Every structure is written in structure tokens, then in C-alpha cells.
Amino acid sequence: MSALLSQSKDELAAWMQVQGEPYFRAQQVLRWVYAKREFDWSRMTSLSLSLRDRLSRFWVLPSLTLLKIQESEDRQTLKFLWGLRDGKKVESVLILAPGRQTVCVSCQVGCPARCAFCASGREGLLRSLQAEEIIEQVLHTQKYLDSKGMRVSHVVFMGMGEPLENLDIVLRVVRQLSDPEGFGLSQRRITISTVGVLEGIERLCDEDLNVNLVFSLHAPNQHLRKKIIPYARRYPLDQLLEALRRYTTKTRREITYEYTLIHKINDQPAHALELVALLKGENCTVNLIPYNQVEGLRLERPKGSDIEYFRQILEEGGLRVTWRYTKGKDIAAACGQLALQPSSFVTVCK
């Protein structure tokens, strides 16, 4: 059996043709799933019983099982634990803000990047997710929001995994989520984050996409970056920055440079001045992220006053700066904390 949501509309229509069914049957099926969030073939009543039977025998739907969910104390962040068909598990996060409902999806089980401050890569990469396993993170979350009268407004590839190491699948997901006959989400509301895979960034430059690109910088120079991000040993910073400039030129989308501030490692005034020199004149925003505690790591979060001074130096140097407000820290759902810790969840389904 194949997973339904791994197929595009045209691929499903081709299967329908082999079955002797008209093209619009594919549109009907996708409308049931994407628009109505229906995952039970028996309830797709606009389809004949015969077709529903054939669909159930040939196509897998759904591919994910919601195992557990946890809500933060401020009720603005929810972390979902999904069961995959092979027994593995993956997490995603729903972040709520006024007029904005963002789903942070995972694209791999585990992560190959093994960044020094991040929990997701501590066990390495187990496997990459398939298109349906990523798309369903969005659709099942939307089904949760339906009862609250809310709509997913943004999707960010910032959960577990390195998106550019699963790029074929990520591109397929982006196109299906942004298809008007799919989920219908504007590509301008989709963000891909990367620690810096040069070939992946160069390929994105050649794709006809308008997604936002976020680069995990975390250090103002190559030497320090290699200590924080092992992938930096493979890709020189100057080459990555040049590729990012090409992406900006091609798409006219600014790059967001994420910078996780770690006490006494990359948060000193000298680092801020070096960062100004590195990025001044670039079409970009620097997003400061205070380090979120990960069990077992002997790293510390800077004081608020030190973060503010770091920010002040960047702004006085002419850079656009944001300071990310930490959400979901109490449920290990903040940046860098996703690590499949089932004991931290509460069961919501039986």
C-alpha cells in the first residue's frame, strides 16, 4: 500500500484513470482530506462505495497517529507526539499568537546536525520523514484548530531534522501545502530553516519558490561556528553567505539569521561587533534566541541585561534585530528542545 498524501493531484488522477474513474474524483478525494480533514474512507460520502473500498485497499490514510499532547502553562504552545507506521515517533509544535497560528513541523526522526545546544540531534538521525508524514502534521493540527474556529496561518520547518538533507520531500510538501486545491497556504507563509547545507541552498535558488529562508548562524566567524555547529566543518561560512545572497537576489526575500545566545560562548560584545561587520549591508534580520536549557548540556542562558546590550550593539551597527520571546519552555517545546521525551507528555487519546 502507498500513502495517499505522498501523491500529487496529477499522480492521484492518473491512478483514478487506471481505475476507470474521471479526473474530478482525485479532486474530490483531496478536498475531503485537505479541506474537510477527513481521514476515514467510509465517511467520504460523495464517493461510491466501490471506489471507497478500492481506495482503502490501495492507499494508506492516515499515516500518523496522535499519541500524546502537552499544553504550556500559558496555553500558547502545544506539543504533539505522533506515532509513525514503523513504530518510530516524531514531535511537532503549535504556537499561538494574536492572529497567528504557526505549526512547527519536523522533517526527520532525530537530526544529523548535532548542534551543541540542541536536543534533537543527540541521538543522531534515525530516518527522514516522507511527504505524507510531514503534511499530516499540519492537517491533524488544523483538525485540532477547527473546533476552535482557527486556521493554521504559518508553517515553519524548524522542528526535528535538517530540512535541506530531506530536500526532495520538503519541496514536495511545500508545493502540496501551497496548492490551491491542497491546503492552500501561501508560500510566503512557509519558512525553511537550515544549519547550512550549501548544495541545498544552491538548489533552492533554482526552484520556483517564494518561501522564507532562515539560516542558523549562531556565531560571527567560521572558527567559533565550527565549535557550535559540526556541519560548519563541511561548509565554509563565506560560501554559505554567498549562496544566501543569491537566494535573496532570486526571490527578493530577506534572510533571517538565527543566533542562539549562549553564555560566555558567543554572547560577548566583541561577538556582537564582529556580527555587525559580517552582516552589515545584507538584506536580512538577525533573530536573537536566548539559549533554552537542555537536560545534560552544561550550557547557560545569558542574563537579560547582557542580551539587551548585545542587541543594542547590533542595532547601533545598522542591523535589523528581533528578540524571540521564548514559548513552550516549560514543556520542552522551545527552540532546540524537541527530543522525544514521552514522560513529559499527557495522554489525550485512548
Catalogue the active-site residues: 91, 335
Closest by alpha carbon to 204, among 159, 245, 160, 258?
245
Sequence length of the chain is 350
Give 255-318 as a 3 state SS string. EEEEEEECCCCCCCHHHHHHHHHHHCCCCEEEEEEECCCCCCCCCCCCCHHHHHHHHHHHHHCC
**Residue 101's beta-bridge partner residues?**
96
Task: Reply yes or no: is the peptide bond before residue 62 cis, omega within 30 of 0.
Answer: yes
Between CA 213 and CA 191 the distance in angstroms is: 6
Number of other residues whose CB lies within 10 A of the CB of residue 345: 18
**Residue 284's beta-bridge partner residues?**
255
Residue 95 sits at φ, ψ, to 5 deg, of: -115, 120
Between CA 231 and CA 219 the distance in angstroms is: 13
Between CA 340 and CA 120 the distance in angstroms is: 8
Between CA 284 and CA 244 the distance in angstroms is: 10
Grid cell digits, residue 195: 544549519
3-state helix, strand, coil in the chain (%, to 5): 40, 20, 40
Between CA 81 and CA 11 the distance in angstroms is: 30
Residue 84 sits at φ, ψ, to 5 deg, of: -95, 165
Between CA 192 and CA 201 the distance in angstroms is: 10
Dihedral sign, Cα of residue 216, residue 221, residue 223, residue 227: negative
